[in-house]
Chains A and B, each alone.
Chain A
Amino acid sequence: MVHPPATRPGLAQRFVQAWNKYKWSYFFIFPSMLLFFIFTAYPVGQAFLLAFQKVDLRGSEWIGLKNFQDIFASKLFWLSMQHTFIYAAFVVAAWLVTSLLVAVLIQPLHNRIQSLFRAAFYLPNVISIVVISLVWIWIFEPQFGFFNYLLSLIGQEPVRWLQNPRIALWSIVLSTVLIVPGSGVVIYSAAIGSIPRDYYEAAEVEGANGFQKLLHITLPLLNPTTLYLMVIYTIAGFQIFERVYIMTGGGPINRTTTIVQLIYQTAFSDFNFGRASAQGLILFAIIAIFSMIQFKFLGTDIEY
């Protein structure tokens, strides 16, 4: 090693040198990369191949774009798209507004009370959606459910929350938005806490009131946070499945079927794996497009 050899080392020798230099690096990444390639990268590739095949329990054959043609010709697909968009739009809007509102309101409170509220708002978010959905079925129960009890107090007729085809989707939206997203509260609250006090003091000197300070200082400075939350909530909204699966199973008469519920049915009730893969790719495309649009609109003036 003291005198480097004058001639270039042979291929084998260089390989041995490289191996000695990098073997530990490869050793460290090996287990997760092995899992990643087998259980993520390879299946993603497979999904693209399966989407162009007719795959069922017997075997598979190439059918070109037929899966996509069938999907776009299917009424149920467009219905599930409509449901998913409605759900995502209302849930994202409500979650952003409520979590921002809560975060703004807890800001002036004493530290102890702040963390108490943050814990209270975060708690329901650690519980599984299966459990939460089961409670909502009970709250929505037509005869003895809590909601119809509340309605009876103000002299209203009972509502068939999850059984009425025109209402069921809205009931699922309601069940989602009535629980404030704890992640949004915590993240907004951290972001508001990091805004320098001088900004507000300067505004006070110029005679700005609380609302003006919120509108002209807090909100613009929260743009990156809003973008981040909007993107993750939109993605979560588009992927809604467990609530629908548990609360309605997509019914009544398919009026709550969402895209992921449709993928589940196509794959595991109809055993049409090729078409389910194609539906998965369409969902992927929608999510990617929406994330890009949101970054374009909100991401441009993020650097201050």
Chain B
Amino acid sequence: MTTKTTVAESAFRPTARNFSKFRRMLPRLLTLLLLSAVAIISLFPLYWLFVTALTPASTTVRMPPQIIPKNPTLENIVDMIRISGTGELNVLGTGWIIRMPRMLIWFINTTFIALFSTGFHVFFDAMAGYAFAKRRFPGSRVLFWMILAALMIPGQVTLVPLFLMITKMDLVNSYSGVILPGLADVIGIFLLKQFMQTIPTELEEAARVDGASEWTIFIKIIMPLSVPALAVTAIFAFQRYWNSFLWPLIVLQDPDLFTLQVGLSYIHTSEFGTNYGLLMAGAALAAVPMIIFFFAFQKYFMQGLRIGAIKG
């Protein structure tokens, strides 16, 4: 009898403990399950993009589809680069021509436009942000108010006037036609002004006493101290320029000048538009750089969003 209860007890006690532990863990477990399910749905299109891109063309159009690719291959990517055709890359518009597959040209064009735009955009915005943060001058309030007002105007309002202007300036079908209007984005000025206001003015005063020029103060003191805000501005600008579609679509007509997004929509409407293996391979080529970019600068993406939220 005693032995029996002991056995029963020893068998029961851990189970009870396990059960109550299970009871406590249950809500957390369910939460994790639910979150994972939502995350899987959210990430599925991206997963499907890469699965299709890496599935041999013969098995793409098959029922049932392969959820996990059995024989992953780069065939589609190679084919996609081939069928995009051969084009001429006019290096930086200098007239130095290199012949290569269009897909590669689009990649280079997009990288060039995005990097160039981001660089100038952030530097000019930093200059203006500094002036608005630290200096009072006639017109500063009116100008800053105008910038805030411009933030509320949707881009579609200026679409037609900008196109007519670019046509008049003979910039249709050129990198400048894509880049110049894009530089006029003012959100960075606002973000950088808010940040630079927090830099103690004593630092500038001390440098001024030491005889530093205004330009030196900006480059040697303000810019290094603003690196976190500059990084956030640059990262969001780069993402925007890399993914931008409507404006390049309108301005660019020569396939040798296309960006990746415009090139993809061009392939989509071409004879290869229903070859989904190829199409996904092209889309994957456009997506991979942004994915790497996101994981490299994840911290700044999250910071930038929180800053935006506090401003709103």
| Min distance, Cβ A190 to any Cβ of chain B, angstroms | 5
Q: Within 8 Å of chain B (Cβ to Cβ): is A225?
A: yes
Chain A residues within an 8 Å CB radius of B132? 29
Residue from the list B189, B301, B312 in contact with A122, Cβ < 8 A: B301
Interface contact A124-B124, CB-CB below 8 Å: no
Chain A residues within an 8 Å CB radius of B49? 131, 135
Specify the chain B residue showing the minimal Cβ separation from A268: B250
Q: Within 8 Å of chain A (Cβ to Cβ): is B195?
A: no
Interface contact A35-B156, CB-CB below 8 Å: no
Chain B residues within an 8 Å CB radius of A47? 157-158, 160-161
Known contacts A98-B38, A183-B305; is-contact A35 B124 (Cβ 8 Å):
yes
Specify the chain A residue showing the minimal Cβ separation from B50: A135
Docked complex Cα distance between A138 and B146 (Å): 44
Main secondary structure of the interface of B (DSSP, over half): helix
Interface contact B291-A50, CB-CB below 8 Å: no
| Min distance, Cβ B253 to any Cβ of chain A, angstroms | 11
| Min distance, Cβ B175 to any Cβ of chain A, angstroms | 15
| Min distance, Cβ A293 to any Cβ of chain B, angstroms | 15
Known contacts A128-B286, A138-B280; is-contact A28 B42 (Cβ 8 Å):
no
Interface 0/1 of A180-220, CB less than 8 Å to B: 10010011001100000000000000000000000000000
Interface residues of A in 216-275 (CB under 8 A from B): 224-225, 227-228, 231-232, 235, 238-239, 241-242, 245-246, 260, 263-264, 267-268, 273
Residue from the list A123, A130, A284 in contact with B264, Cβ < 8 A: A130
Docked complex Cα distance between A129 and B243 (Å): 8
Residue from the list A105, A108, A134, A242 in contact with B268, Cβ < 8 A: A134
Chain A interface size, under 10 / 10 to 19 / 20 to 34 / 35 or more? 35 or more
Interface contact A179-B42, CB-CB below 8 Å: yes
Docked complex Cα distance between A183 and B301 (Å): 9
| Min distance, Cβ B133 to any Cβ of chain A, angstroms | 10
Known contacts A28-B127, A119-B298, A123-B294; is-contact A283 B137 (Cβ 8 Å):
no
Interface contact B45-A139, CB-CB below 8 Å: yes
Interface contact A273-B160, CB-CB below 8 Å: yes
Known contacts A29-B127, A32-B124, A135-B46; is-contact A281 B164 (Cβ 8 Å):
no
Interface centre among A105, A124, A128, A246 (most CB of B within 10 A): A128
Specify the chain A residue showing the minimal Cβ separation from B262: A130
Interface contact A228-B261, CB-CB below 8 Å: no
Chain B residues within an 8 Å CB radius of A131? 49, 261, 264, 283, 286-287
Interface 0/1 of B285-312, CB less than 8 Å to A: 0110011011100100110011011001
Docked complex Cα distance between A21 and B34 (Å): 62
Interface contact B302-A124, CB-CB below 8 Å: no
Known contacts A29-B132, A105-B35, A122-B294; is-contact A149 B65 (Cβ 8 Å):
yes
Residue from the list A123, A264, A281 in contact with B246, Cβ < 8 A: A264
Residue from the list A32, A118, A187, A288 in contact with B186, Cβ < 8 A: A32
Q: Within 8 Å of chain B (Cβ to Cβ): is A16?
A: no
Docked complex Cα distance between A281 and B159 (Å): 11
Q: Within 8 Å of chain A (Cβ to Cβ): is B41?
A: yes
Specify the chain A residue showing the minimal Cβ separation from B167: A57
Interface size on B, residues (CB 8 A): 89
Docked complex Cα distance between A43 and B156 (Å): 11
Chain B residues within an 8 Å CB radius of A26? 137
Q: Within 8 Å of chain B (Cβ to Cβ): is A39?
A: yes
Interface contact A120-B39, CB-CB below 8 Å: yes
Docked complex Cα distance between A246 and B269 (Å): 9
Docked complex Cα distance between A137 and B273 (Å): 11
Docked complex Cα distance between A101 and B34 (Å): 10
| Min distance, Cβ B124 to any Cβ of chain A, angstroms | 4
Chain B residues within an 8 Å CB radius of A267? 159-160, 163
| Min distance, Cβ B119 to any Cβ of chain A, angstroms | 13
Further 9 A-B residue pairs, CB within 8 A, beyond A40-B186, A138-B48, A180-B42: A40-B158, A117-B35, A124-B45, A124-B46, A126-B291, A128-B243, A128-B245, A137-B268, A144-B63
4 nearest CB pairs, A to B: A228-B312, A39-B184, A128-B243, A46-B161
The residues of A with any CB-CB pair to B shorter than 8 Å are 18, 22, 24-29, 31-33, 35-36, 38-44, 46-47, 50, 55, 98, 101-102, 105-106, 108-109, 113, 115, 117-124, 126-132, 134-139, 141, 143-144, 146, 149, 152, 175, 178-180, 183, 186-187, 190-191, 224-225, 227-228, 231-232, 235, 238-239, 241-242, 245-246, 260, 263-264, 267-268, 273, 276-277, 280-281, 283-284, 287-288, 291
The residues of B with any CB-CB pair to A shorter than 8 Å are 28, 31-32, 34-35, 38-39, 41-46, 48-49, 52, 60-65, 124-125, 127-128, 130-132, 135, 137-138, 140, 143, 146-147, 150, 152-165, 180-181, 183-184, 186, 189, 214-215, 218, 239, 242-243, 245-246, 250, 261, 264-265, 268, 276, 279-280, 283, 286-287, 290-291, 293-295, 298, 301-302, 305-306, 308-309, 312
